[in-house]
């Protein structure tokens, strides 16, 4: 289950809102620190991601929120689209091998049975996915800080913010 913190940017119709999420670490995920130091991070807007989420916590524009994305639907969809066909390919190959291994000449029955198992597993996976598909919609489960609280605390603690030079490219971000 994935939880992300973000800022509510836009309220849409119904309970839909647009949330800006910034990754927890700067730079390119999954690469070495040496490579991240050579990349200019000023060219992008901080790798922010915009997502559409359901507002279950009553958030307003400017609120810092906790967004939850249930991964069970993603796992179920992956099992249906990948797991069932993969199992069919394995079972079909094994059945086909044992049906044709005892004969000195090629036996078309083993190949036909193996192909039928593979095709039926592919169709089962696709039809099962179409019938039970559920999107993994992100949901705002908690408001961490209200917009009014953040504006007040930032004025007191930080004062006006100064731009800092980017060490990798020596530009002001």
Query: In which residue are the tokens 């992100």 written?
Result: 138
In percent, the amount of the chain with pLDDT more than 70 equals 70
Q: What is the pLDDT of residue 74?
A: 82
pLDDT digits (tens, 9 = 90+) for 105-163: 667 888 888 899 999 999 999 998 889 887 878 888 988 888 777 655 544 444 344 44
Query: In which residue are the tokens 């279950």 written?
Result: 56
Q: What is the pLDDT of residue 33?
A: 73
Higher pLDDT, 101 or 62: 62
pLDDT band, very low/low/confident/very high, at 77 (cuts 50, 70, 90): confident
Taking only Cα atoms into account, the Rg of the chain, rounded to an integer number of angstroms, comes to: 26
CB 163 within 8 A of CB 172: yes
Higher pLDDT, 94 or 24: 94
Task: For residue 56, give the DSSP letter.
Answer: S
Residues facing residue 20 across a β-bridge: 7, 50
Supply angle C-alpha 121, 127, 133, rounded to 5. Answer: 125
Residues with Cβ < 8 Å from 157, sequence gap 6 or more? none
Residues facing residue 50 across a β-bridge: 20
Q: What is the pLDDT of residue 162?
A: 43
Judge if pTM exceeds 0.95.
no
Q: What is the pLDDT of residue 160?
A: 41
In percent, the amount of the chain with pLDDT more than 90 equals 12
CB 71 within 8 A of CB 1: yes
pLDDT at 164 over 70: no
């Amino acid at each position: 289950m994935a939880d992300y913190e973000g800022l509510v940017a836009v309220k849409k119709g119904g309970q839909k809102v647009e949330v800006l999420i910034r990754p927890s670490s700067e730079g390119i995920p999954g690469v070495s620190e040496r490579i991240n130091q050579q990349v200019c991070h000023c060219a992008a807007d901080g790798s922010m991601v915009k997502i559409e989420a359901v507002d279950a916590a009553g958030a307003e524009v400017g609120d810092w929120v906790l967004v939850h994305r249930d991964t069970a639907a993603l796992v179920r969809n992956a099992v249906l689209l990948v797991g069932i066909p993969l199992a069919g390919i394995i079972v079909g190959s094994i059945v086909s091998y044992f049906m044709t291994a005892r004969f000195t000449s090629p036996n078309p029955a083993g190949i036909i049975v193996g192909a039928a198992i593979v095709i039926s597993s592919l169709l089962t996976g696709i039809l099962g996915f179409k019938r039970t598909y559920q999107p993994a919609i992100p949901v705002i489960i908690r408001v961490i800080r209200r917009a009014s609280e953040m504006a007040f605390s930032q004025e007191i603690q930080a004062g006006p913010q100064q731009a800092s030079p980017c060490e990798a490219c020596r530009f002001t971000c």
